[in-house]
């Protein structure tokens, strides 16, 4: 049990340290990347670096029959590129641009005592609850 | 633009983020998607919560360590309109659930797996974010 949690904690630790080191907890950097009128490429460098590292690492790791502490790899199985995916990304991107915070940096910055991400996180919690309500209502509709 | 670009911090930070994602896959066999991990930690099944909470505690701990080393200096913004922050959070929370992922799940892990869904989601949320920031400029919230 401890081993299981330790893997996750160390993984989270590297992730959080990386978010701070790369300045991604600064919402002005994030909005700067999204600002074509005065473009700041920092976020792009972070993404290119993180994605290429992960790509190489996943190739090696996924050759194993199973992960170290669990019995199987749990990779997403959905393949549909549909309206739900696109609408979700549009709404997410709207919020991301509006504040310059997404969930990872918001959580990390909140732990450092930053005030703004606390408000963002309150919104995230409300948005997630709203989604549960929406899905429950949407789930009832096709019955008729 | 904020003066200067932290090239080495950006590349080094990206490598660490990638190593975190790799380690979570190697140990737990899971994708490092923060919104999914957070959602499951709050409302998921009991037995599935431990590793999620551990990851989130680690996330805060790693960030805290970096800030103790002075790496977070000057990263806090203040004075941004509160109503925008709240509405932004609402959209981020709702959108991440509807689109099954955020910047980490789709943007880092999904793109690293060359998942077509994640590549599309990443392109779409970056475009939507760019339009939003352009609108903020027009409304003179950003200058």
List pLDDT tens digits, range A9-32: 999 999 999 999 999 999 999 999
| Chain B residues lying within 8 Å of A82, measured CB to CB | none
Q: Are B67 and B86 contained in the same domain?
A: no
A vs B: CB pairs below 8 A: 488
Q: Are B60 and B96 contained in the same domain?
A: no
B41 has a chain A CB within 8 A of its CB: no
| Chain A residues lying within 8 Å of B11, measured CB to CB | 45-46, 49
Distance from CA of B122 to the nearest CA of A (A): 7
Q: Are B49 and B72 contained in the same domain?
A: yes
Number of domains, chain B:
2
Q: Are B70 and B104 contained in the same domain?
A: no
CB nearest A14 (choices: B20, B38, B128): B20
Q: Are B135 and B104 contained in the same domain?
A: yes
User: Considering B26, B52, B76, which residue would you say is the last residue of a domain?
Assistant: B76
Q: Are B56 and B100 contained in the same domain?
A: no
Residues 73-132, chain B, touching A (beta carbon < 8 A): 74-78, 80, 82, 84-100, 102-104, 106-117, 120-122, 124-132
| Chain A residues lying within 8 Å of B16, measured CB to CB | 14-15, 17-18, 21-22
How high is the pLDDT of residue B44? 81
Q: Are B18 and B38 contained in the same domain?
A: yes
Q: Are B102 and B83 contained in the same domain?
A: yes
How high is the pLDDT of residue A44? 98
CB nearest A120 (choices: B14, B85, B131): B85
User: CB of B26 within 8 A of CB of A58?
Assistant: no
pLDDT in tens, A33-63: 999 999 999 999 999 999 999 999 999 999 9
Answer whether residue A143 shows pLDDT above 80: no
DSSP chain A: -HHHHHHHHHHHHHHHHHHHHTTTT-HHHHHHHT-GGG--THHHHHHHHHHHHHHHHHHHHTTSSS-SSSSS-B--------HHHHHHHHHHHHHHHHHS--HHHHHHHHHTT-SHHHHHHHHHHHHHHHHHHHHHHHHHGGG-
User: Considering B34, B51, B76, which residue would you say is the last residue of a domain?
Assistant: B76
User: Considering B53, B76, B99, which residue would you say is the last residue of a domain?
Assistant: B76
DSSP B111-122: HHTT-HHHHHHH
A120 with B89: Cβ contact below 8 A: yes
A82 has a chain B CB within 8 A of its CB: no
pLDDT in tens, A107-134: 999 999 999 999 999 999 999 999 999 9
What phi, psi does A70 have (nearest 5°)? -110, 170
B58 with A45: Cβ contact below 8 A: no
pLDDT in tens, B59-72: 999 999 999 999 99
A93 with B25: Cβ contact below 8 A: no
pLDDT in tens, B79-115: 999 999 999 999 999 999 999 999 999 999 999 999 9
Answer whether residue A2 shows pLDDT above 90: no
Answer whether residue A86 shows pLDDT above 60: yes
| Band of pLDDT at residue B143, cut at 50, 70 and 90 | confident
Q: Are B7 and B66 contained in the same domain?
A: yes
Q: Are B3 and B46 contained in the same domain?
A: yes
Q: Are B107 and B141 contained in the same domain?
A: yes
Containing structural domain, residue B7 = 1-76
Nearest residue to B24 (alpha-carbon basis) of A25, A19, A62, A48: A62
pLDDT in tens, B25-39: 999 999 999 999 999
How far is CA B100 from each of CA A86, A136, B96, rounded to the nearest angstrom? 10, 17, 6
Q: Are B58 and B5 contained in the same domain?
A: yes
User: CB of A50 within 8 A of CB of B17?
Assistant: yes
Q: How far is the C-alpha of B50 from the C-alpha of A2, rounded, in Å?
A: 10
């Amino acid at each position: 049990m401890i081993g299981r949690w330790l893997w996750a904690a160390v993984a989270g630790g590297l992730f959080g340290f990386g978010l701070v080191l790369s300045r991604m907890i600064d919402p002005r950097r994030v909005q700067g990347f999204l600002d074509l009128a005065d473009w700041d490429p920092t976020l792009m460098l972070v993404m290119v670096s993180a994605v290429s590292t992960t790509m190489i690492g996943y190739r090696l790791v996924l050759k194993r029959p199973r992960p170290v502490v669990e019995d199987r790899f749990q990779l997403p199985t959905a393949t549909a590129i549909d309206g739900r995916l696109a609408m979700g990304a549009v709404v997410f991107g709207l919020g991301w641009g509006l504040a310059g915070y997404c969930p990872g940096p918001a959580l990390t910055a909140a732990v450092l005592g930053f005030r703004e991400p606390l408000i963002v996180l309150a919104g995230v919690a409300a948005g997630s609850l709203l989604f549960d309500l929406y899905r429950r209502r949407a789930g009832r509709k096709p019955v008729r | 633009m904020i003066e200067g670009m932290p090239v080495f911090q950006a590349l080094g930070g990206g490598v660490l983020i990638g190593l975190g994602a790799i380690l979570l896959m190697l140990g737990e066999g899971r994708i490092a998607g923060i919104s999914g991990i957070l959602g499951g930690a709050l409302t998921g099944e009991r037995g599935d919560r431990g590793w999620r909470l551990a990851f989130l505690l680690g996330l805060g701990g790693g960030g805290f360590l970096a800030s103790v080393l002075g790496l977070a200096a000057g990263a806090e913004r203040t004075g941004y309109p509160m109503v925008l922050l709240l509405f932004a959070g609402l959209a981020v929370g709702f959108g991440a659930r509807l689109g099954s992922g955020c910047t980490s799940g789709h943007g880092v892990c999904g793109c690293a797996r060359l998942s077509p869904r994640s590549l599309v989601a990443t392109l779409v949320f970056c475009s939507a974010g760019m339009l939003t920031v352009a609108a903020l400029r027009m409304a003179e919230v950003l200058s």
